[in-house]
Amino acid sequence: MNASSVVIDRPLPDWPVIIFLGGVHLFALSALLPGTFSWPAVAVALVLHWLTAGVGVTLGYHRLITHRSFRAPKWLEYVLLFCGTLACQSPLEWVAKHRMHHRFSDTAEDPHDINRGFWWAHVGWILHKLPCDRSMGLYVKDIARDPVYRFFDRTMLLWQLALGIVLFLIGGLPFVVWGMFVRLVAVYHSTWFVNSATHSFGYRSYDVGDRSTNCWWVALISYGEGWHNNHHEFPRSARHGLRWWEVDMTWWMIRGLRVLGLARNVILPRCRSG
């Protein structure tokens, strides 16, 4: 076999994604310019970070939609879906690739396989077209037929534009810079660290056959997602922080919803440590 006949599976760069994410990070740097800072703008960024990363991605995309660790009224599921859309992360792709991650964790078929390096697991995989992109539909059959999911998936960028206009009308340029760009950068990296840092640093409570770890500082910035080794041991559990000191803010939200009668069939591990 000559060298010319060997096919090397090297994922190609996804230039639209690269340009978009590069632009978001570049515009976030404008927060360093005079006239773009205000404390109300920072407060808006923090509230929107919680609403989009905490309520939308962690509570909605992850614990409700991906793993069905609890049940909620359909209207509430759609509200959480909308909040996740405001994090500018495709719901169908997010759910599909996270389910792939659990099926093939830390192997070559894992979209963000940590064995390819920290950078790849953190963001490199997002910047490339992956072979697994062609099979995403197999992992979201339960939601892909839902017209509401398809609508929000298709209109994700339009909602960012609408939010930016609202922020500008309320608070001018500082609200746009902090509420949109700084907030999106923080949301992205706080969720990406779950794929990279919690397969690199921290401690392991369970031998689950992969490199997942529990990392306290990731848990703090991602509303409890940093207790990732616990999650890999009990993937359908609504609670990730299993010891008393493993702070899990998303579990607090689920408990609150349960008190209000909005969360039912809440799944918990049969055995908990601590």
pLDDT digits (tens, 9 = 90+) for 48-83: 999 999 999 999 999 999 999 999 999 999 999 999
Residue 150: pLDDT band by 50, 70, 90 thresholds?
very high
pLDDT of residue 274: 39
Reduce the DSSP state of residue 104 to 3 states and report it. Answer: coil
Three-state SS for 11-71 is CEECHHHHHHHHHHHHHHHHHHCCCCCCHHHHHHHHHHHHHHHHHHHHHHHHHHHHCCCCE
Residue 7: pLDDT band by 50, 70, 90 thresholds?
very low
Q: Which structure tokens are listed for 150?
A: 């398809």
Phi/psi class of residue 13: alpha, beta or left (left: φ > 0; alpha: ψ in -120 to 50)?
Answer: beta
pLDDT of residue 2: 44
Residues 6+ apart with CB under 8 A from 236: 67, 68, 69, 267
Phi/psi class of residue 111: alpha, beta or left (left: φ > 0; alpha: ψ in -120 to 50)?
Answer: alpha
pLDDT of residue 10: 78
Between the CA of residue 247 and those of 55, 65, 122, 218, what are the distances in Å?
16, 22, 23, 11
pLDDT of residue 43: 98
What is the C-alpha to C-alpha distance for residues 118 and 54, in angstroms, rounded to an integer? 24
pLDDT of residue 160: 96
pLDDT digits (tens, 9 = 90+) for 183-218: 999 999 999 999 999 999 999 999 999 999 999 999
Of 118, 64, 127, which is closest to residue 91 (Cα–Cα)?
A: 64
- Give me the DSSP letters along 206-253: S--SS---B-HHHHHHTTTTTBHHHHHHSTT-S----STTS--HHHHH
Residues 159 and 39 sit within 8 Å (Cβ to Cβ): no
Say whether pLDDT at 272 is over 60. no
The rounded radius of gyration (Å) of the Cα atoms in the chain is: 19
CB atoms within 10 A of CB 211: 18
Between the CA of residue 207 and those of 114, 164, 213, what are the distances in Å?
17, 45, 10
Give me the percent of the chain exceeding a pLDDT of 70.
95
pLDDT digits (tens, 9 = 90+) for 95-145: 999 999 999 999 999 999 999 999 999 999 999 999 999 999 999 999 999
What is the C-alpha to C-alpha distance for residues 195 and 42, in angstroms, rounded to an integer? 27
> Bridge partners of 129?
12
Residue 270: pLDDT band by 50, 70, 90 thresholds?
confident
CB atoms within 10 A of CB 37: 13
Residue 93: pLDDT band by 50, 70, 90 thresholds?
very high
What is the C-alpha to C-alpha distance for residues 164 and 206, in angstroms, rounded to an integer? 43
Say whether pLDDT at 273 is over 90. no
pTM above 0.85, yes or no: yes
Of 52, 70, 86, 67, which is closest to residue 143 (Cα–Cα)?
A: 67
